[in-house]
Amino acid sequence: MSSTPSDYEAVIGLEVHVQLKTNTKMFCGCKNEFGGASNSHVCPVCLGLPGVLPVPNEEAIVKTILTGEMLECQIATRCKFDRKNYFYPDMPKNYQISQYDEPLCLGGAVKLDLLAYPKDVQKEESTIADKPIRLTRIHLEEDVAKSFHNDDGTSGIDFNRAGTPLMEIVSEADMATAEEAFAYLSALKQILVYGGVSDADMEKGQMRCDVNVSIRPKGQKEFGTKCELKNLNSISGVRRALKYEIARQIEVVTGGGTITQETRRWDDDLGETTLMRIKEKAHDYRYFPDPDIQPVRTDEGLYAEAKTRLPELPAAKKLRLADQYGVSVYQAGVLSADAALADYFERAAKLHPQHGPAVANLLLNDFLATATGENPLPSLEPHYFGELADLTATGAINSKQGKEVFAQMFLTGKAPAALVKELGLAQVSDTAALEVFCDQAIAANPKSVADFKAGKLNAVNALKGQVMKLSKGTANPTLVGDILVKKLTQ
Ligand SMILES: [Zn+2]
Residue 174 alpha carbon to ligand 1 centre in Å: 38
The Cα-based distances of 90 to 86, 214, 396 in angstroms read 11, 30, 66
Q: Is the dihedral of CA 95, 101, 102, 104 positive or negative?
A: positive
Residue 183 alpha carbon to ligand 1 centre in Å: 36
Per-residue model confidence (pLDDT) at position 365: 86
Residue 163 alpha carbon to ligand 1 centre in Å: 7
Residue 105 alpha carbon to ligand 1 centre in Å: 26
Residue 36 alpha carbon to ligand 1 centre in Å: 14
Short-list 63, 64, 29, 23, CA closest to 46: 29
Short-list 205, 182, 214, CA closest to 279: 214
Residue 96 alpha carbon to ligand 1 centre in Å: 14
Residue 29 alpha carbon to ligand 1 centre in Å: 6
> Strand, helix or coil at 366?
helix
| Distance from C-alpha of 477 to C-alpha of 427, rounded to nearest angstrom | 9
Short-list 98, 92, 133, CA closest to 113: 133
Residue 144 alpha carbon to ligand 1 centre in Å: 12
Residue 28 alpha carbon to ligand 1 centre in Å: 5
Short-list 219, 192, 155, CA closest to 69: 192
For every residue of 451-474, DSSP letters joined together read: HHHTT-TTHHHHHHHHHHHHTTT-
SS3 content of the chain, % helix, strand, coil (to 5): 40, 20, 40
Residue 43 alpha carbon to ligand 1 centre in Å: 4
Short-list 385, 420, 389, 390, CA closest to 404: 420
Residue 138 alpha carbon to ligand 1 centre in Å: 24
Residue 218 alpha carbon to ligand 1 centre in Å: 51
| Distance from C-alpha of 234 to C-alpha of 249, rounded to nearest angstrom | 22
| Distance from C-alpha of 144 to C-alpha of 148, rounded to nearest angstrom | 13
| Distance from C-alpha of 170 to C-alpha of 15, rounded to nearest angstrom | 5
Q: Which amino acid is at 153?
A: G
Residue 52 alpha carbon to ligand 1 centre in Å: 10
Q: What φ, ψ does residue 272 adopt, rounded to 5°?
A: -150, 160
Residue 159 alpha carbon to ligand 1 centre in Å: 9
Is the Cβ–Cβ distance between 365 and 347 less than 8 Å?
Answer: no
Short-list 124, 125, 83, 122, CA closest to 101: 83
**Vertex 169: Cα angle to 164 and 175 (nearest 5):** 150
| Distance from C-alpha of 3 to C-alpha of 270, rounded to nearest angstrom | 28
| Distance from C-alpha of 24 to C-alpha of 31, rounded to nearest angstrom | 4
Residue 288 alpha carbon to ligand 1 centre in Å: 23
Residue 292 alpha carbon to ligand 1 centre in Å: 16
Residue 21 alpha carbon to ligand 1 centre in Å: 16
- 79 beta partners: 296
Q: What is the pLDDT of residues 90-133, one digit of tens each?
A: 888 889 999 999 999 999 999 998 888 998 888 776 667 678 99
Residue 435 alpha carbon to ligand 1 centre in Å: 79
| Distance from C-alpha of 187 to C-alpha of 118, rounded to nearest angstrom | 11
| Distance from C-alpha of 165 to C-alpha of 143, rounded to nearest angstrom | 6
- Can you give the residue ranges of every domain in the chain? 5-305, 312-423, 431-488
Residue 48 alpha carbon to ligand 1 centre in Å: 9
| Distance from C-alpha of 7 to C-alpha of 383, rounded to nearest angstrom | 56
Q: What is the pLDDT of residues 445-460, one digit of tens each?
A: 999 999 998 888 888 8
Number of neighbours of residue 311 by Cβ within 10 angstroms: 15
What is the length of the chain?
490
Residue 164 alpha carbon to ligand 1 centre in Å: 9
Residue 25 alpha carbon to ligand 1 centre in Å: 7
Residue 46 alpha carbon to ligand 1 centre in Å: 4
Residue 65 alpha carbon to ligand 1 centre in Å: 23
Is the Cβ–Cβ distance between 142 and 165 less than 8 Å?
Answer: yes
Residue 90 alpha carbon to ligand 1 centre in Å: 15
Per-residue model confidence (pLDDT) at position 2: 47
For every residue of 424-457, DSSP letters joined together read: T---B--HHHHHHHHHHHHHH-HHHHHHHHTT-T
In this structure, the strands spanning 74-75 and 262-267 are unpaired
The Cα-based distances of 420 to 98, 401, 406, 408, 474 in angstroms read 61, 9, 10, 10, 11
| Distance from C-alpha of 220 to C-alpha of 10, rounded to nearest angstrom | 11
Residue 308 alpha carbon to ligand 1 centre in Å: 29
| Distance from C-alpha of 363 to C-alpha of 16, rounded to nearest angstrom | 33
Short-list 411, 424, 412, 352, CA closest to 382: 352
Number of neighbours of residue 408 by Cβ within 10 angstroms: 18
- How deeply is 38 buried, as exposed, middle or buried, from its count of CB atoms within 10 A (0-12, 13-18, 19+)? middle
| Distance from C-alpha of 320 to C-alpha of 327, rounded to nearest angstrom | 10
Residue 47 alpha carbon to ligand 1 centre in Å: 7
Start-to-end Cα distance in the chain: 84
Q: What φ, ψ does residue 340 adopt, rounded to 5°?
A: -70, -40
Specify the CATH number of the domain 431-488. Answer: 1.10.10.410
Residue 23 alpha carbon to ligand 1 centre in Å: 12
Report, as ranges of residue numbers, the positions in the chain whose pLDDT lies below 50: 2
Residue 32 alpha carbon to ligand 1 centre in Å: 9
Residue 27 alpha carbon to ligand 1 centre in Å: 7
State the DSSP H helix or E strand holding residue 217, giving kind and residue range, or none if neither.
strand 207-217
Short-list 230, 54, 18, CA closest to 138: 18
Short-list 283, 67, 15, CA closest to 175: 15
